[in-house]
A and B are shown apart, each in its own frame.
Chain A
Amino acid sequence: MAEQQERGSGAPDPAPRGPASGSEPDVWYFAVRLGDGRYAFAASLVTEVVRLGPLTRLPAAPPFLPGVFTHRGEILPVLDLGELLLRRPVATRPGGRVAIVHADPWRVAVVADEIEGLAQVPRRRIGPPPAAQQAGEFLQAVVADDLGDIGVLDLPRLVAAARARSVPA
């Protein structure tokens, strides 16, 4: 079966809260790669990671919505995180991995250059977002794991902003 359940049960609430403390539990994020950068969002938003099926393109769709695909009988819109964040489209291909996320109130499938999966980060390694960065508006924090720095995104806000940008006046 092509699908993978990436989340373990009982993952702690990933939302960063207040100053880091040595005794606080680690935070779980879901990490993706876009170009040379690593980004993540709250792991609790991800319901599963699946293989992308054939994409049905929608006429006149904005560039960040390359199409929809069918997953277990449900038609899911696919969001191109590269286009949304960096204005650099991801090369979507059937069989590539997508993360199905619940960005309230929408359920969407997110594509990136690479899906890394869960990243466990000690709270003491959560820092404020840099003042100026390409994705700065949507960055909540910068965290570091063994592989390097990760920009933490406010994914629901990013999705809501994309929607607001597209709604006809």
Chain B
Amino acid sequence: MSLGDLQVLLFQLGARVFAARASDLRRVAGSLLERPEDGVAETVLGSPWNPRRGLVVDVGGEERTVLVDGVLGLRVVPEPDFEALPAFAREVLPTAALTGFAMLDGIPTLVVDLPTLVREGERHRSAVPSEEESRHA
């Protein structure tokens, strides 16, 4: 691994595979999460079909767990194999959590900024009233 290389964690959410910088992760939670209700399930990436794993990240000094369908492992990606999101796509996407692509075996795999993903998910959750809140409104 040279200085410009970056380690990414590949994970599966629904039918898709995404990458995240390994340095963003504190750990991968196992199949039995202590409090699965605390996990972040709904994000701009969609929801897991069968959340068996959790990606534990640090957000503002607190741990948050992004629920995913599976963890596929770590890959070392040379710096030239990273591509930024095209400028136009960056402008029109409603999220800053998609940062670009890691070219893995020639296939562009979306790189996700996990802390941003969690922050955006929580903002969205607090902006949308829950079913219970809606009933009492």
Contacts and interface: CB of A to CB of B under 8 A. Distances in A.
Contacts of B98: 58-59
B44 interface: yes
Contacts of A56: 101, 108, 110
B92 A65 contact: yes
A157 to B, nearest CB: 14
Interface string A56-72: 10111110010010100
Nearest to B97: A59
A163 B88 contact: yes
A163 B92 contact: yes
Taking each of A59, A65, A167, which has the highest tally of chain B beta carbons within 10 Å of its own beta carbon?
A: A59
Centre residue among B44, B86, B110 by max chain A CB count within 10 A:
B86
B108 A68 contact: yes
Contacts of A70: 103, 106, 108
A105 interface: yes
A76 B95 contact: no
A59 B46 contact: yes
Contacts of A162: 92
A159 B95 CA distance: 19
B110 A77 contact: no
A168 interface: yes
A166 interface: yes
Interface of A: 54, 56, 58-62, 65, 68, 70, 75-77, 79, 105-108, 159, 162-163, 166-168
What secondary structure prevails in chain A residues at the interface with B? mixed
A59 B108 contact: no
A62 to B, nearest CB: 6
A163 B94 CA distance: 11
Nearest to B109: A56
B25 to A, nearest CB: 20
A163 B91 contact: yes
B110 A75 contact: no
Given A68-B101, A79-B88, 16 more contacts: A56-B108, A58-B93, A59-B110, A61-B89, A61-B92, A62-B92, A75-B83, A106-B86, A106-B87, A106-B88, A107-B86, A108-B88, A163-B92, A166-B91, A166-B94, A167-B92
B45 interface: yes
B98 to A, nearest CB: 7
Which of B45, B46, B95 has the largest number of chain A CB atoms within 10 A?
A: B95
A70 B69 CA distance: 27
Contact of B89 (A77, A105, A159, A168): A77
A77 B88 CA distance: 7
Nearest to B91: A163
B40 to A, nearest CB: 15
Contacts of A166: 91-94
